[in-house]
Structure 1
Amino acid sequence: MKISMQLRYDGDIVAAARQVSALEDAGLDLVWVPEAYGFDAPSFMGYLAARTGRVEIGSGILSVFTRTPALLAMTAAGVDALSGGRAHLGIGTSGPQVVEGMHGVPYHAPVARTRETIEVMRAFWRRDEPVTYDGRTVRLPLPDGDRGGSGLGVPMRLLSAPVRPEVPVWVAALGPKNVRMAAETADGWLPMFFVPEWCDQVWGPSLRAGAAARGPGRGPLSISAGGLLAIGPDAARHRERARGQLALFIGGMGAPGHNYYYDLVCRYGYAREAEAIQRLFLAGDRKGAAAAVPAGLLEATTICGPESYVKDRLAAYREAGVTHLQVAPVPAEGETEAALLTRLKDLCG
């Protein structure tokens, strides 16, 4: 397995980006640059491209509702050129709270929009002919009278030739339909709160259905998943750091009835606990919501323990098909993140 990490964006993001150089020397294979509703990711991807020479750089993630397919294709091709072919494009749908509340774009047909975005981006990267597309959510060129179109648009192609025929496309997906679509069309899958032992139970039918419809030249689906990482005899105590994030996503990332993370935890078998977490979080009791995260879920979604325990967890991720172990490292006292990453690389073999 390769090792990936998400660039921290809850503090000094410039300092975090600079640290990637040290992590690259320690063996980091891929860094994911988040966006959410903070700074835009491509700016920092370009910054990382200039400061590094080997590590691959991915967006984690760009919303398909906030950029047109053409702009996503242009952005990915631009970062790929700046980095010498090291870019990965992670995309997803975000949620209606951000898409409609911040961007003022209707949150409509998310699975169809993701599929059509991928198809249109790849058509632009090919540059073999001007791109036309007549889909449910994307129409190129926009015809007269349709969504305010003037009828003056003409089919176009990318002005600049990409350095690679395609930039690898990763899809962040949790729901059955979206996971099936990702397994069929994407190069990689970005699941959150992934538990390898429960993967087949929760996602197996969707992954197999998507794989059966996958084009023969597409290659196997890559998977980037993992969790909080700490290695050592007392490392299990570091799991507690993940409580707040689990509570935030289960309780606050979406409204009742429309929260992908809440639904996932219910499918894991924690429906009663998920309801309690969401109720407490939405009532303003964040500490209570974090305390309500069950210990079993906390352990299953983290990688914290002595070396023998971590090795067993790595084997489980590998068995579940994970190609890029995505970790949030918590070094031991006196240890650096780079040193912890080196230890992890050794355990991965």
Structure 2
Amino acid sequence: MRITFAPWGETLAELADAARRAEEAGAEIVWVPELHRSAAVAAAALAQATTTAKVGTAIQLAFTRSPMITALEALDIDELAEGRFILGLGTGVQRLNESWHNARWGKPVGHMREVVRNVRHFVANAHTGDEIALEGEFEPMNIRGYERPHAPTRTEIPIYLAAMGPAMTRLAGRIGDGWISHELCSPSYLAERILPEINAGLEKAGRERSEIDLVVSACCSVDEDPQAAFDRVKAHVGFYASVRTYADFFEFHGLGEAQQAVIEAFRAGKGADYLGDVVTQEMTDAITLNGNRERVIEQISAYEGIADAVKLSAPTHGLSAAEIRKGQDEVIGLIAAIKGGTQ
């Protein structure tokens, strides 16, 4: 099972430096999200800061760009990374797409299927000058008289799909080169809720399990003082527990009442980043990695045999920049201890 990492930085320079240090520690992929930064720009920065680790988006929003722009960005980043880029795509939620980006939502599974098809086709053929004529309900693509004058580093760039719900997870099994979990995903949830849907998608497409890379995301708080590790991650859990959309996830872990307490505190006026005092140790233990190095390494080992890679990230919600840096340094040190790299 591979160890990968999602770096944090207050500036792009700090983000790139954290990725470089994680690579030296032994991280095999460094990932960037899309919310406060453009995933494509951040990935380009990491591509130039690293030399051996793959660089991936986890995730880039699929519906807020045209598939052609997504494909062009992927080709450019893959060139910068010398063939190390992974395009991770996700839908985001409906309100984000429609209200923030004025983007079409429609039927997410069908829409995502067409985006992936178009990106793959463009990456493979844009340099040939051949006509591109793809029909579709959401993303028809008709391009004539176009020839990209830059030779692609690769004509196939891996596309991973982020998915939590069953239909999108099955789609990842059908068409994805990889699957990326939500930031909170326990071994039991992965085994009992995610893998059956992945396998159903694989079976539908006549694919083997070896044809998809499963990347589980794990928020990780490491400290020799267990209380400090808990204190650093509890607001992160509170942030996600405040979202009613995740009710099934928390109910699965027997945390329905605990989540409801967080929701009530949120409704009473507490900010989403500052709900940690309502979060219990039981909640953090169920859905995050936290404790000293030995305990966290044991928690990581629980994913063996069901995930192909773990994407570690330090908690960020409700913390100052200095506190996030300390937590991130601890995670990079953990990676070095596991992989034998340098810290």
Kindly indicate whether the alpha-carbon contact (under 8 Å) linking 2:223 and 2:229 is maintained by their aligned counterparts in 1.
no
Match of 1:211 in 2: 202
Match of 2:33 in 1: 34
Once the two structures are TM-superposed, the CA of residue 240 in structure 1 deviates from its matched residue by 2.8
Q: What amino acid is aligned across from residue 88 of structure 1 in structure 2?
A: I
Once the two structures are TM-superposed, the CA of residue 33 in structure 1 deviates from its matched residue by 1.2
Kindly indicate whether the alpha-carbon contact (under 8 Å) linking 1:124 and 1:158 is maintained by their aligned counterparts in 2.
no
Q: What amino acid is aligned across from residue 172 of structure 1 in structure 2?
A: A
Distance 1:230 1:40, change over 3 A: closer
Matches within 5 A, 1:1-349: 1-8=1-8, 11-36=10-35, 38-127=36-125, 129-141=130-142, 154=144, 158-192=148-182, 193-216=184-207, 219-231=210-222, 233-235=224-226, 237-252=228-243, 259=245, 261-286=246-271, 289-328=275-314, 338-346=332-340
Q: What amino acid is aligned across from residue 155 of structure 2 in structure 1?
A: P
Distance 1:157 1:290, change over 3 A: farther
Task: Identify unmatched segments of 5+ residues in structure 1.
Answer: 142-152
Q: Deviations over 1:253-280 (max 9, x none)?
A: xxx5xx3x34422343333333332332
Distance 1:313 1:140, change over 3 A: same
Match of 2:318 in 1: none
Q: Deviations over 1:196-242 (max 9, x none)?
A: 12322222331220121235489432122242335565346403322
Q: RMSD in angstroms over aligned alpha carbons? A: 2.9
Q: Which moved more, 1:127-136 or 1:187-196?
A: 127-136
SS in 1 for 2:154: coil
In structure 2, distance between residues paired with 1:103 and 1:307: 41
Q: Deviations over 1:174-207 (max 9, x none)?
A: 1111111112111111112110123222223312
Q: Which moved more, 1:15-24 or 1:53-62?
A: 15-24
Q: Deviations over 1:73-114 (max 9, x none)?
A: 111111001110011111101112221121112322112111
In structure 1, distance between residues paired with 2:85 and 2:62: 17
Task: Identify unmatched segments of 5+ residues in structure 2.
Answer: 316-323
In structure 1, distance between residues paired with 2:231 and 2:330: 20
In structure 2, distance between residues paired with 1:296 and 1:166: 44
Q: Deviations over 1:273-323 (max 9, x none)?
A: 333323322442248843333433311222223454334323211122232
In structure 1, distance between residues paired with 2:235 and 2:185: 17
Q: What amino acid is aligned across from residue 24 of structure 1 in structure 2?
A: E
> TM-score if structure 1 supplies the norm length?
0.83
Kindly indicate whether the alpha-carbon contact (under 8 Å) linking 1:131 and 1:155 is maintained by their aligned counterparts in 2.
no
Q: What amino acid is aligned across from residue 135 of structure 1 in structure 2?
A: G
Q: Deviations over 1:133-188 (max 9, x none)?
A: 222211122xxxxxxxxxxx648565534212311111111111111111211111
Kindly indicate whether the alpha-carbon contact (under 8 Å) linking 2:23 and 2:53 is maintained by their aligned counterparts in 1.
yes
SS in 2 for 1:104: coil
> TM-score if structure 2 supplies the norm length?
0.84
Q: What amino acid is aligned across from residue 175 of structure 1 in structure 2?
A: G
Distance 1:113 1:294, change over 3 A: farther
Kindly indicate whether the alpha-carbon contact (under 8 Å) linking 2:180 and 2:217 is maintained by their aligned counterparts in 1.
no
Q: What amino acid is aligned across from residue 134 of structure 1 in structure 2?
A: E
Q: Percent identity?
A: 24
Q: What amino acid is aligned across from residue 178 of structure 1 in structure 2?
A: M
Number of residues paired by the alignment?
327
SS in 1 for 2:3: strand
In structure 1, distance between residues paired with 2:147 and 2:234: 47
Distance 1:120 1:26, change over 3 A: same
Distance 1:265 1:13, change over 3 A: farther
